[in-house]
Amino acid sequence: MDIGIIGLGRMGGNIARRLMKGGHKCVVLDRNPDAVKDVAAAGAVTARDSADMLSKLSSPRAVWLMLPAGEITEKMLTEVAAEMQKGDILIDGGNSFYKDDIRRAKTLGQNGINYVDVGTSGGVWGLERGYCLMIGGDAKVVTHLDPIFACLAPGIGTIERTPGREGRDPRAEHGYVHCGPAGSGHFAKMIHNGIEYGLMQAYAEGFDILRNKSSDALPPDQRFTLDLADLAEVWRRGSVISSWLLDLSAIALAKDSDLKSFTGSVADSGEGRWTVEAAIEEAVPADVLSTALYARFRSRRDHTFAEKLLSAMRYEFGGHVEQKK
Catalytic residues: 189, 196
- Give CA–CA dist 149/147, Å, rounded: 6
**Bridge partners, 147 (sequence order):** none
- Give CA–CA dist 232/242, Å, rounded: 9
Three-state DSSP state, 121:
strand
Residues 152/16, Cβ–Cβ less than 8 Å: no
- Give CA–CA dist 113/160, Å, rounded: 39
Instruction: Say which residues have a Cβ less than 8 Å from residue 188's Cβ, sequence separation at least 6.
Output: 119, 134, 136, 179
Residues 173/150, Cβ–Cβ less than 8 Å: no
- Give CA–CA dist 46/37, Å, rounded: 8
Torsion of CA 195, 201, 207, 209, to 10 degrees: -130
In b/e form, how buried is each residue of 211-244, taking b as 16+ CB within 10 angstroms? beeeeeeeeeeeeeeeebbebbbebbeeeeeeee
Three-state DSSP state, 129:
helix
Concatenated DSSP letters of 89-115 = EEEE-S---HHHHHHHHHHHHTTT-EE
